[in-house]
Amino acid sequence: MTYPDWHEIRNSFWLRRHEFPQLDAETPSFMRLPLVSRPEQLAGADAVIIGAPYVAGWGEYAGVGKEAWLAAAKRVRQQSARYHSGYVQEFDLDIFEHLSVLDYGDADIPARANEAPTAENILAAQDAVVEKVAHCLEAGAVPIVIGQNSPCGSYAIAKPIAERSAGNVGCISLDTHWDAQTIDRLTMDPRIAGSGSWKHKLYEFHANMTPPNLVEIGERGMLEDKDMVRRWLAAGVHFYPMWKVRTELGVEGLCEELRHAYEGTSDVYVHFDMDVLGGAGPAGGDILGELAEPIGMTDYEVIRVAHEIGKRGLTGFSFICIPPGSAVIYRTIVFVIAYLLAGMAMRKQGGA
């Protein structure tokens, strides 16, 4: 699958007659929103878009070249520019009439973190994302981080939320894998909340991240260690594998189960690892390389869950493992964000 270059996208029917802010020559702002670069410009914002282009490893990631993964934030923004307003016709609602949403550009992740992923370089990349997320939280805005790998697209968002929370923090996580190994296999450094270990490290490092307020959705199949899964279940995690979603709950029942992240918590962190699609979305599973597994969530199910979370409220949101190379997959990420924002707008309209 060949992704079109920016010249082709820019001259398409949807974009060629329009002007919009750009981060650089190939990157428009998300959904043509105002582009800001300083923390003080975030005042009054309800939500803020941040890119976090980071991919773990020394070579290919999951059998797919790093360049395709690293382009995710840019390509999501490119596809988002086709939408000339925040009007969601299903709800007869214009998001941006009710919410102030800004694009805060990309975190200043050092190139060396993607070229030479030593522990120190990874921590520097993590800090760059933490800084931008902290700016949003201090402004009272919801950071929405378009990342590709951990810790920059997961732990770096949860960390400043947990550190600033007045109480316990709930978490809603969509994923094919638990990402709960006890140590990062890339660096073997206990400080690193890496691609296979970030969830374990999040709960190890932050006592107010409480397992009974973790809603874990989407894992399936035979890859995980049984003792690890059983430990998390014994700790009180609410686990909804795709088999249960398909055979018992359906998407309506699944949305009802989101309540566990909110019960007795002060904040809620939301994380969508988009390998949860597994080919059940609008593009084939093979574009995910080694990350694809059968019985994936559909694009509608992921978008619907995001919308329901928006209606309930959240503190921060992040993406990783956005399937690379498909324009319609990048549009799916735009829909996830837009329908999340639509839920937030409905919540704001209702005075919640």
Helix %, strand %, coil % for the chain, to 5? 40, 15, 40
| Beta-carbon contacts of residue 335 (< 8 Å; ≥ 6 apart) | 299, 303
pLDDT at 59 (0 to 100): 87
Residue in the block written with tokens 């609602």: 93
Tell me the CA distances in angstroms from 76 to 137, 233, 261, 323, one per residue in order: 23, 35, 28, 11
Domains of the chain: 6-349 (3.40.800.10)
For residues 329 and 323, the answer to whether their CB atoms sit within 8 Å is yes
Helix (H, G, I), strand (E, B) or coil at 105: strand
Residue in the block written with tokens 């503190």: 315
pLDDT at 62 (0 to 100): 85
For residues 137 and 234, the answer to whether their CB atoms sit within 8 Å is no
Say how far apart CA 106 and CA 52 lie, in whole Å.
Answer: 6
| Beta-carbon contacts of residue 61 (< 8 Å; ≥ 6 apart) | 55, 69, 149, 289
Splitting the chain (352 residues) into consecutive groups of 10 residues, what average pLDDT does each group show? 90 92 97 98 98 93 90 98 96 98 98 96 98 98 98 98 98 98 97 97 98 98 97 98 98 98 98 95 89 96 98 98 94 98 96 69
Q: Name which of 247, 33, 67 is nearest 148 in CA terms.
A: 67
Say how far apart CA 81 and CA 29 lie, in whole Å.
Answer: 7
Say how far apart CA 196 and CA 198 lie, in whole Å.
Answer: 6
For residues 147 and 190, the answer to whether their CB atoms sit within 8 Å is no
pLDDT at 55 (0 to 100): 95
Tell me the CA distances in angstroms from 258 to 12, 178, 233, one per residue in order: 39, 18, 16
Say how far apart CA 122 and CA 109 lie, in whole Å.
Answer: 9
Answer left, alpha or beta for residue 296, where phi above 0 means left and psi between -120 and 50 means alpha: beta
